[in-house]
Chain A
Amino acid sequence: MSCSGSLALDCMIPCNARYVFVKVTAARDPDNVDKWEVQLRKGCLELAILAALWEEKLYGLEILRRLESDSDLIVSEGTVYPLLSRLKALGLVKSEWVESEAGHPRKYYALTPAGKKRVMDMAGIWKRFSSSMSKLLAPLGKGSK
């Protein structure tokens, strides 16, 4: 049986092809302290949310208020809700709807056992990290000579 003509389908692998490596470098501006601060806050947000839930279950707005009053994390609301949904998908928090006196139900979040373990682990890392950073930064407090 011969199959002729225009159906030729070829996958060529030229051995002399030049491979182009695209080096992806994030645009970094070493002088931009604000950007660094944003990254720092961003990195802490997951720990902050899990820690806020340590003692009791809270709904979204309560978590936001807790973060604003107990820490100076400036949090955008449009960020916290998707993050809560991600933490739930990862099995770190669970949620339930509770009727409120305001006339509408609220979605409360609580830590799961996996979430408790995670926040303990993260807190341990945080404490070690911040104490070593504090030691490193101590000379700065004495002012320059």
Chain B
Amino acid sequence: MTMADEANQKMEAYLGKLRQRLRGMNDDDAREIVEELRSHIRDKAAASGQMTAEGVDRALASLGSPEDLASQYMTDDLLARAVVSRSPLRIVQSLFRWASLSIAGLVVLLCSIVGYFLGAVFIVVAALKPFHPGTAGLWRLPSRADDFELSVRLGFGSAPGSGRELLGWWIVPIGLGAGCALVMLTTRFAIWCVRQYRKSRALPRG
């Protein structure tokens, strides 16, 4: 194997790993990233004329591991798409990635999941009220002496004996309104946090 072959092989192995880690990203974007880095490695490794294996090694070492590099590209790509798409699914997907990188991301992820979950529960209970009018709704249940619990029941099972239903048929408009508002607010909150994070960060890692 010639020197140039060896150098080429090392470079392609690195770029192959990088490409693999960029899965999930738009194909054209991923291809362009790989092309750009290939061009960079060639320029860098052939600084003194011929591209050598040592030159490639040096160039790869200063780029860092393909895993790290890909994760910097991916995180930003996901966060960018979340801000543009506004779809709760995409937002939660991006938040999972952010959460894997920082505690702030984890906190935002947990808050968003709670927000979306409660929103979905309100919408579902409003939708189920016509089918289970006696049991679906917001219930106030006694728990201990002077304490009580609020329970959103979807209408399966029997009505709790000692509880009181609070809203009656009002649960339909209120549930739909509150549910949609929660989903919207959670989306805006998550996007706002992601925007702040992207703005605050000149570099993806510290």
Contacts and interface: CB of A to CB of B under 8 A. Distances in A.
Given A45-B202, A82-B204, A3 B132 contact: yes
Contacts of A77: 40, 62-64
A60 B36 contact: yes
B203 interface: yes
B149 A11 contact: no
Given A61-B44, A78-B68, A102-B43, A83 B202 contact: yes
Given A77-B40, A107-B36, A3 B151 contact: no
Given A15-B150, A79-B72, A8 B40 contact: no
A86 B156 contact: no
A14 B144 CA distance: 11
A46 B152 CA distance: 49
A128 B173 CA distance: 54
B28 interface: no
B121 A11 contact: yes
A24 B99 CA distance: 13
A43 B63 CA distance: 20
Contacts of B64: 76-78
B72 A82 contact: yes
A78 B65 CA distance: 9
Size category of the binding interface on chain A: 35 or more
A13 interface: yes
Contacts, number: 115
Main secondary structure of the interface of A (DSSP, over half): mixed
A107 B62 CA distance: 19
A88 B42 CA distance: 23
Contacts of B39: 59-60, 104-107
Given A76-B62, A85-B33, A5 B203 contact: no
B106 to A, nearest CB: 9
Contact of A3 (B42, B150, B152, B155): B155
Interface string B125-147: 00000011000000000010001
Nearest to A106: B39
13 contacts: A3-B156, A3-B157, A7-B156, A10-B153, A14-B150, A24-B107, A45-B203, A77-B40, A81-B37, A81-B63, A83-B202, A86-B76, A107-B39
Interface of B: 32-33, 35-40, 42-44, 46, 62-64, 68-69, 72-73, 76-77, 80, 103-104, 107, 118, 121, 131-132, 143, 147-158, 198, 202-204, 206
Q: Which 6 A-B pairs have the closest CB atoms?
A: A78-B64, A8-B157, A7-B156, A82-B72, A11-B152, A13-B150
